C-alpha cells in the first residue's frame, strides 16, 4: 500500500493476525474472504460453523424477534440498502423513529465496539440491544427466548449448533453475531488495483486516491483494510442543532468525547447513504462538501477538521475514488424464503 495511513493499515493487519494467533482466536478457512480483507477472527467462545451462521441468518431476517412480528434485524440493516435501511434514521416497532442512522453491517467483523457511540463491546452484545429497545423491536429477552423455544424448527437447529434445546438469549446473540461476521465486502476496484491490476481503477479514481491520501488526508481516520480507525471523532455534524446528540460522551461520561461518533467504514460507502450518524447528508457529494468546508465549529471539533480548499474537479475525483470501494461478497448471501416452524 502507498500512503502513510494505508501502509499503517497493512502493518496493523499483520499485527492483528499475529495477536489473534497468540490469543488462540479462531480464523476459519471455511469462510471465503474476498480480496483485500483479513481472515475473520472469530471469538474463542463463539467459533464459526456454517450451521451457526445459517441459524444466525434465519434469526437476523425473522420478524418474530420483535414484539408484534413486524421488525427484524434486517428491517434496519437490509441487503437492499447495503445492510442499512436507506433512511436518515431507522423506523422501529409501531412506526417509531430512532434518533440515529442505521450503520451498515458490512465488514462488522473487523469492527471493535459497536453502535455509533461504541456502547456495545462486541457483536454478541450489540445483537441483544435492539430486541429490548422499546423503539426498535419492543420486546424482552425473556419473551424472545420463550417464543423461540416454542418453535420446533428452531429448537432443533439450536440443539444442532449449541447441543441444547434449552436455548438462551446468549445463544441467540452468538448465532446472529456469527452470521453478521460473514457479511463481507472486498475485491473492490481499489483492492484489485492495490493487488497490481493498474487498470482496475479509472484515471479519476486514481487521482481521487491520491487526494484521499495527500491533500484531503482522509486516511487519518479512514485507514487500514476496512477504511476506519475504529476511533471516535467530533466532526461537527449536528452540533449546530438546538439539542445536539452528545455521542460518545454519554457512554464514557468524559466531556472530551462530547459530540464524538465512531468513524464508519468506507467500504461500499456509495451504497449505504444517507450519511453521518444522523443521516443528514444525502449524497457523497454533500459529504465531500461538508469536509471541504471544515465541518461545523463547536466546542469539541476535531483538530483535523480544517477547510480542504478542493477544486470542483478534485471533489469529483474524490467521490470517484469512494465509489471504487464498492466491493463483493455480501451479495452472495441469500435472504431466507421461509423460516422454522
Active site residues: 136
SS3 271: helix
- Are the beta carbons of 258 and 234 closer than 8 angstroms? yes
End-to-end CA distance of the chain: 50
Where are the alpha helices (H) located in the chain, listed in sequence order?
4-23, 50-61, 73-76, 123-128, 141-149, 152-162, 169-180, 189-194, 203-213, 249-252, 284-292, 312-323
Chain centre to alpha carbon of residue 202: 27
Only one residue has cell 424472545, namely 144
Cell numbers at residue 206, please? 486514481
Compute how many other C-beta atoms are within 10 angstroms of the C-beta atom of residue 279: 20
Kind plus residue range of the DSSP H or E element containing 41: strand 41-42
SS3 279: coil
Rounded Cα–Cα distance for residues 4 and 47 (Å) = 34
Could you write out the DSSP letters of every residue in 71-130? --HHHHSBGGGTSB-SSSS-B-GGG-B-SSPPPP-TTGGG-SSBSTT--BSSHHHHHHTG
Only one residue has cell 450489540, namely 126
Show Cβ contacts of residue 163 under 8 Å, excluding neighbours closer than 6 positions.
none
- Are the beta carbons of 51 and 71 closer than 8 angstroms? no
Cell numbers at residue 87, please? 433512511
Amino acid at each position: 500500500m502507498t500512503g502513510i495511513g494505508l501502509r499503517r493499515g497493512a502493518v496493523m493487519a499483520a499485527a492483528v493476525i499475529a495477536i489473534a494467533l497468540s490469543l488462540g482466536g479462531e480464523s476459519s478457512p471455511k469462510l471465503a474472504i474476498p480480496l483485500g480483507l483479513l481472515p475473520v477472527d472469530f471469538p474463542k467462545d463463539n467459533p464459526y460453523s456454517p450451521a451457526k451462521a445459517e441459524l444466525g441468518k434465519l434469526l437476523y431476517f425473522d420478524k418474530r424477534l420483535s414484539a408484534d412480528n413486524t421488525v427484524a434485524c434486517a428491517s434496519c440493516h437490509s441487503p437492499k440498502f447495503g445492510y442499512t435501511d436507506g433512511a436518515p434514521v431507522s423506523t422501529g416497532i409501531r412506526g417509531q423513529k430512532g434518533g440515529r442512522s442505521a450503520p451498515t453491517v458490512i465488514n462488522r467483523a473487523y469492527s471493535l465496539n459497536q453502535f455509533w457511540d461504541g456502547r456495545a463491546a462486541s457483536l454478541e452484545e450489540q445483537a441483544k440491544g435492539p430486541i429490548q429497545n422499546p423503539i426498535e423491536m419492543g420486546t424482552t429477552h425473556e419473551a424472545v427466548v420463550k417464543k423461540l423455544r416454542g418453535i420446533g424448527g428452531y429448537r432443533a437447529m439450536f440443539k444442532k449448533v449449541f447441543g441444547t434445546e434449552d436455548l438462551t438469549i446468549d445463544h441467540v446473540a452468538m448465532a446472529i453475531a456469527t452470521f453478521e461476521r460473514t457479511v463481507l465486502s472486498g475485491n473492490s476496484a481499489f483492492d484489485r488495483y492495490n493487488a497490481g491490476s493498474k487498470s482496475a481503477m479509472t484515471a479519476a479514481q486514481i487521482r481521487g486516491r491520491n487526494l484521499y491520501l495527500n491533500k484531503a488526508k482522509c486516511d487519518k481516520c479512514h485507514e487500514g483494510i476496512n477504511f476506519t480507525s475504529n476511533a471516535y471523532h467530533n466532526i461537527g455534524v449536528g452540533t449546530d442543532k438546538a439539542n445536539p446528540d452528545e455521542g460518545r460522551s454519554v457512554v464514557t461520561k468524559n466531556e472530551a468525547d462530547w459530540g464524538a461518533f465512531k468513524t464508519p467504514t468506507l467500504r461500499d460507502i456509495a451504497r449505504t447513504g444517507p450519511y453521518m450518524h444522523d443521516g443528514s447528508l444525502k449524497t457523497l457529494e454533500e459529504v465531500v462538501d461538508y469536509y471541504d468546508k471544515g465541518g461545523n465549529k463547536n466546542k469539541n471539533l476535531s483538530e483535523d477538521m480544517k477547510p480542504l480548499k478542493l477544486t470542483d474537479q478534485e471533489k469529483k475525483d474524490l467521490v470517484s475514488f469512494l465509489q471504487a470501494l464498492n466491493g463483493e461478497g455480501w451479495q452472495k448471501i441469500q435472504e431466507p424464503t421461509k423460516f422454522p416452524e
